[in-house]
Amino acid sequence: MKEEKLRKSVTVVSACIMRPGGHEILLSMRRAPGVPGLHEKWELPGGKIEFGETPEQAIVREIQEELGITVKPTRLLPYLHTNVWEYEHAVQHVVLSCYECDLQEDLLFGPPQDARWFRITDIDFDLTLPGTRQFVMLAAKHEEFDQVCIEFEYSDQPENAPRQFTVATQPTLYSRYGLVKYWGRIGQWSTMRIEEYGSPNELDERIVETAKRRLAHGFHIKALQGPRHYKALMRIVGMAKQKHEYCPTPTFS
């Protein structure tokens, strides 16, 4: 009879530490041999909240122990990430939160081993742990993540002006994850609609689904723009190539 693994739940807190200007962020390498999807992935540094600690105390202690640097938590990011990891003798349910943190000292000689500064627009989030992208998006002070724009075009009749359909990300009054759509005939009329979503994953799926429908209705992609390593954009490029539609090289912000 197979022995059932121990199940446990842990609360983890991580730190979003950025250089002045908000264009680079500190990530650390996770070492967990034997755990698929966890070993040698980049993550925001942090660790478990010990019994009796506040989250703020835990992040200060963990960063000091892990990286040998002192930080000051300044803002709790408005997102909780949950995941389940299967170890050899246990299954662990992780609830992860993240604080923006200020460095209390200069890293004159660079970060310690297994940690490095990443330019935010160059991060390949496929090489990071789940939740990293969501926290980085919330903490980023620049607009690169809000500059996704895809233009579609379709010519149905030679005598008519081509039809256009554009989808673009744009934060709204009530949600950071807003999507603006507008469509019509070029030079004649246009209709606009604004949609709001509760997470970047929901926003990504809507962008991909919208592109899939436009391509299925005979549109081709006229232009694409977005951040480097944006997985949704790459999926759309792949779909367009499969349908042998014109697909220009993406413009990376």
Q: Where are the domains of the chain?
A: 6-139, 144-252
pTM for the model? 0.65
Percent of the chain topping pLDDT 70? 88
Output the pLDDT for position 253: 60
Q: How far apart are CA 130 and CA 80, in angstroms?
A: 11
Q: What is the DSSP letter of 181?
A: E
Angle in degrees, CA 230, 236, 241, rounded to 5: 125
pLDDT at 1: 46
At the top level of CATH, which class does the domain 144-252 belong to? mainly beta
What architecture does CATH give domain 6-139? Alpha-Beta Complex (3.90)
Q: Each residue of 118-146: b (16+ CB within 10 Å) or e?
A: bebbebebeebbbbbbbbbbbbbeeebbb
Q: What is the pLDDT of residue 134?
A: 84
Model confidence at 109, pLDDT cuts 50, 70, 90, reads very low
Q: State the Cα–Cα distance between residues 89 and 73, nearest whole angstrom.
A: 34
